[in-house]
Structure 1
């Protein structure tokens, strides 16, 4: 099955133009299935049937895998076997009737506007690192991009004059505007801090670590955590918290869902709908507290 997985990942990369993160996710899920099948003494992918795949789903449930993890694994398995059916001319797809568990959509954690403001004031701009951190936080909140997109930005992806960034994910590309606060912070970073971090090296990456290399997800996560603690923010905060806050604050201030969907890069507007639901819940709470005949 190892060769088939490699062939499938190659197809995703070369034909579908998927992102590296997507490919890594598919490969991880399929290798877990491969280990399970090996334990079941299955030697070739042709031996896999619907019963075995259902057994694997039940195995994940017994191991208390999160419903979201099981659902993602099933999606990976179905895509994999669909690919094999097309390339091998199989008459039956063993994964055709695999069903994902229902996932309850939870309201994402967001910061208040005051908390965001307090967080963004934490970096001290008397060092190159502090100037960089302020620019990254401002741009993340201003655009709502994913942390993987933030650390992947190159110099050519940002237009400071017109105030927008270009994000590419596989074949998809989206242009996202940003405001004056983020513009000032990024300009401040570009005026000298970036060159100081870069030293004598060369790089097309926009944001650099203290060694002049590309920032990592883990590196930025630690930066964000330290500033959240300094700001006295009690809730558990991740880079995605700022992404959710960006979308929720836009909706709260009247932005239409279609525009928010495009900026967030959601393929389905139902994913964006959750921010409208959050806004309705807030309005309902205000009503119940204030209306005399509630």
Structure 2
């Protein structure tokens, strides 16, 4: 089987048999494409290379291409999946990637913004164009619902239920969930639907909720770029995913239980949600640092 056919069949397996999310399938396929290119340059046969050769490949990715430990761990997951595919196809008798040791992923505390900072950022968006109204509605919704950007991109008009103030979201693993949105998001969504979206659609029929200026579904890169521009103007160092982090942190700080936050965020594992409790603890430590010194020397 030629390499192109192997890669195509592997991609089909990821979607049809392993039920991977489309973005995960794209990421895995891209990783294996890099492996195949490297193997050709190194005159290695993908059907016979061993764990030592795979370690050399990962060293190349880490040292030459500057991958961090989290990215290396993702690469190893892709390699294990790919060689499992070759094993099932009878193209290999083993899975050498199983012998690779994944680096320990450092637990990163998500960055968050205060509610006041987010309100300042959203209020700074110019409403002089349909794109500006769209961006205000988009980021209000992301913040109100704690959406992943990929989830916001794939929203369709029919996924918004204004009468119930709910949106239907398809998250990782094609799992659906209903998320309530607040009055601010409701107001901006309605304005976008009546004023901006018809101007962006330009008589092009599209079921996508958020449209680009050409009337097509707004892309993830477009969202990232627009948010980065708004943040840079205000001198704010953050990425759009911070809106999701801030949403989760505010819920927990307000007394929401972990299970409810897990459901709203679409986390498969509760331990993923628990990281936001650490964010809240950093706030507590900061308050302790500021106020406890005032108690020193106090005696009853």
Superposition TM-score, scaled by structure 1 size = 0.91
The residue number in structure 1 matching 2:217 is 214
2:208–2:217 CA contact under 8 A, matched in 1: yes
Runs of 4+ with >3 A deviation: 124-127
Cα distance between partner residues in 2 of 1:30 and 1:90: 16
Mapped contact 2:130–2:199 kept (Cα < 8 A):
yes
Q: Which residue of 1 aligns with 2:263?
A: 262
Within the candidate set 175, 193, 196, 1:193 is matched to 196
Contact 1:146 1:239 in 2 (8 A): no
For 1:259-278, what per-residue CA distance to the aligned partner results, in whole angstroms no more than 9, with x for missing partners? 22222222222222211011
Q: How does 1:31-42 map to 2 (within 5 A)?
A: 31-42=33-44
- Alignment counterpart, residue 118 of structure 1, candidates 117, 120, 130: 120
| Alignment size in residue pairs | 291
* Structure 1 pair 197–286 and aligned structure 2 pair: CA distance change class (3 A): same
Structure 1 unaligned residues grouped into runs of 5+: none
**Rounded Cα–Cα distance in structure 1 between residues aligned with 2:129 and 2:33:** 44
Residue in structure 2 matched with residue 88 of structure 1 by the alignment: 90
* 1:229 CA drift (Å): 3.4
* Range with bigger deviation, 24-33 or 256-265: 256-265
- Alignment correspondent of 1:145: 147
Structure 1 position 4, deviation (Å): 2.2
Mapped to 1, the partners of 2:61 and 2:216 lie a distance apart of 39
Q: Out of 177-186 and 248-257, give the one that drifted further.
A: 248-257
User: What are the ranges of 5 or more consecutive residues in structure 2 without an aligned counterpart?
Assistant: none
CA RMSD of aligned residues (A): 2.0
Once residues 255 and 233 of structure 1 are traced to their aligned partners in structure 2, the CA distance between those partners, rounded to angstroms, is 31
1:178 to 177, 181, 190: 181
Q: Which residue of 2 aligns with 1:241?
A: 242
The answer on 1:28 being equivalent to 2:12 is no
TM-score normalised by L of structure 2: 0.90
- Return the alpha-carbon distance in structure 1 between the equivalents of residues 203 and 148 of structure 2: 30
Distance 1:159 1:143 in 2: 14
1:6-25 counterparts in 2 under 5 A? 6-25=8-27
Shift in Å, 1:139 = 0.3
Deviations 1:16-75 (A, max 9, x none): 3322211110011111111222123223x3212222212222333332321111111001
SS in 1 for 2:96: coil
| Mapped partners of 1:96, 1:151: distance in 2 | 35
Distance of 1:193 and 1:138 partners within structure 2: 15
Q: CA deviation at 1:126?
A: 4.6
Cα distance 1:36–1:129, how it changes in 2: closer, same or farther (>3 A)? closer
SS of 1:175's equivalent? strand
CA distance in 1, matches of 2:189, 2:20: 29
Counterpart in the other structure of 2:59? 58
